[in-house]
Amino acid sequence: MLNLKQRIVLDFGTENTRLYVLDTEKLIIEPTVLTVAEETGTVLAMGLEAKQMIGRTPHDIISVKPVNRGIVADYNLGFIYLKYLFNKATKISWLTKPEVLVSMPTSSSQVEKKIIASMLKDVGARIVHIVEQPITASIGAKIPIAEPIGSLILDIGGGKTQISLISMGNIISYRHLDWGGNDLTEDIRLYFQDNFNLLIGYHLAETLKLQTGFLESKNLRRVKQRLLKQKRLEIVETGDDLGIRISGRDLVTNLPQKVVVTNKQLSLVIQKSLKPVIHLINNIMQDIPPELINDVIDKGVVMTGGGSLLSYLPEYLTRSIGLPCYLAEEPETRIIYGSAKMLENLELFRYTLKL
Ligand SMILES: Nc1ncnc2c1ncn2[C@@H]1O[C@H](COP(=O)(O)OP(=O)(O)OP(=O)(O)O)[C@@H](O)[C@H]1O
Ligand SMILES: [Mg+2]
């Protein structure tokens, strides 16, 4: 039967787009990327298919990410991509125009909000609600945001990191960084370029990040079998540490080359890349009203976003800032499920909606 009151929530992220249809409970998650023929502008692939093509296409075919640091950077491609996802999720006609709620970074400007609203109207939305990501992330993480209790929520995405202190449904304090998990991948890639004269691809740098992260050597040993099975990373013994053999192209000779990076070296690269995040958390701590300090000390920091999934990151942050940091359950889907809860109970959350 045709549902005339469709409700859809959207998280249009730098790295991934999540779209959830409330009435059918259908969730779609796809990388926010398109493969485009540079000369004609023809879109050749979108989403997962396009992500697999990154760095593997001829030079006249490019990968375009229409969202940069949580903000629409390319209206036309963003529109084409959203239309594709909406069509994949549901049937939209003039009769079934959906009500859409989209979460954006708190740092977004009015112009940036208008752009996304107009894009969603072009895609077919009847009504568009724009809400702030720290609020939907908190709702998704089951933080009791309406209560007079201070909660710190940290969202690490692909291109943006946001930390907020929330109490009584409001963001009391907010800090953000143009830094995310993708910057960490890039720092890993650059490390090989700068220290080994080795050019490695985006996919290898990402695999290194996803598979090893902050692994201590004993854990690295444990995952050895799994990695070998996938034939992506080769583990070698290097005295008291473990190493990973990496293949790339030597920037001096232009020939294929292999180098060994130790687990410790990799951990140092990650630590260096994470410095701004630690700074960000320390920074917001200085803003906390005395009445809320105890709450924050008691409850620590709740972490959401895909970037939080870096192995051992909560432990590392806890050690570095001296406050307990916890991973929310399924951190990468907290914003989309929190958004769904909000749209389902719009009246209940109206006090926090800045429409
Ligand atoms: N297991 C993992 N270990 C380390 N990083 C991970 C892991 N899983 C996902 N990531 C990283 O999380 C990032 C994507 O997170 P997410 O999907 O929350 O970002 P986004 O919402 O698209 O971006 P943003 O919120 O910055 O606009 C990517 O950088 C990805 O590499
Ligand atoms: Mg995000």
Taking only the tens place, the pLDDT of each residue in 225-273 is 676 666 667 888 888 788 889 999 999 999 999 999 998 899 999 999 9
Percent of the chain topping pLDDT 90? 81
What's the rounded Cα separation, in Å, for the pair 222 and 172? 43
* Strand 61-64 with 43-46, pairing: unpaired
Ligand 1 atom showing the smallest separation from residue 180 Cα: 26
CA angle 145, 150, 154 (to 5 degrees): 80
Does residue 86 carry a pLDDT above 90? yes
Which range, of 95-99, 132-136, 258-262, averages the lowest pLDDT?
95-99
- DSSP label at 328? P
Ligand 1 mutation target, pool 9, 10, 15, 51, most atoms within 8 A of CB = 15
State the first-to-last Cα distance of the chain, in angstroms, to the nearest integer: 31
Atom of ligand 1 nearest to the CA of 206: 31
Q: Which of 209, 242, 241, 237 is nearest to 312 (CA)?
A: 209
Range 182-186 average pLDDT: 97
The bound ligand whose nearest atom lies closest to the alpha carbon of 107 is: 1
Tell whether the model's pLDDT for residue 220 goes beyond 90. no
Q: Which ligand is nearest to the CA of 159?
A: 1
Distance CA 321, CA 98 (A): 44
Q: Is 352 in the pocket of ligand 1 (CB under 6 A)?
A: no
Q: What domains sit in the chain, N to C, each tagged with a CATH number?
A: 7-136+334-352 (3.30.420.40), 154-178+276-328 (3.30.420.40), 181-270 (3.90.640.10)
Burial class (CB in 10 A: 0-12, 13-18, 19+), 277: buried
Select from 101, 117, 122, 71 the least CA-distant residue to 6.
101
Maximum C-alpha span of the chain: 68
Contact 241, 212 (CB under 8 A): no
Q: What per-residue confidence (pLDDT) applies to 238?
A: 82
Q: How confident is the model at residue 2 (pLDDT cuts 50, 70, 90)?
A: low
**Region 318-327: what's the mean pLDDT?**
96
Q: Would the pLDDT of 3 be above 70?
A: no
Q: Is 70 near ligand 1, meaning CB less than 6 Å away?
A: yes
Distances (CA, A) of 270 to 18, 180, 336: 27, 12, 28
What pTM, to 2 d.p., does this model score? 0.95
Q: What average pLDDT does range 110-131 have in this prediction?
A: 96
- Would you place residue 93 in the very low, low, confident or very high pLDDT band (cuts 50, 70, 90)? confident
Average pLDDT value for residue range 146-166: 97
Ligand 1 atom closest to the Cα of residue 160 is 26
User: CB–CB of 32/160 below 8 Å?
Assistant: no
Q: In the prediction, which pLDDT does 101 show?
A: 97
What is the mean predicted confidence (pLDDT) over 107-112?
97
Q: Compute, in angstroms, the gap from residue 319 CA to the centroid of ligand 2.
A: 25
Tokens matching residue 57:
């296409």
Question: Does the CB atom of residue 47 touch ligand 1 within 6 A?
Answer: no
pLDDT at 263: 87
Tell me the C-alpha distance between 170 and 150, whole Å: 10
Give residue 96's pLDDT: 80
**Model confidence band, residue 335 (pLDDT cutoffs 50, 70, 90):** very high
The beta strand positions in the chain, using DSSP E, are 7-12, 16-21, 26-31, 34-37, 43-46, 61-64, 67-68, 71-72, 99-104, 127-132, 151-156, 161-167, 170-177, 198-199, 234-238, 241-250, 256-262, 301-304, 325-327
Q: Which ligand is nearest to the CA of 181?
A: 1
Q: What is the pLDDT of residue 355?
A: 41
Q: Where on the phi/psi map is residue 303: left (φ > 0), alpha (ψ -120 to 50), or beta? A: beta
- Burial class from Cβ neighbours inside 10 Å (0-12, 13-18, 19+) for residue 42 reads exposed
Closest ligand 1 atom to residue 210 Cα is 3
Q: Which pLDDT belongs to residue 14?
A: 98
Average predicted confidence (pLDDT) for the chain: 92
- Cα(158) to centroid(ligand 1), Å: 4
Smallest CA-to-CA distance from 156 within 135, 176, 136 is with 176
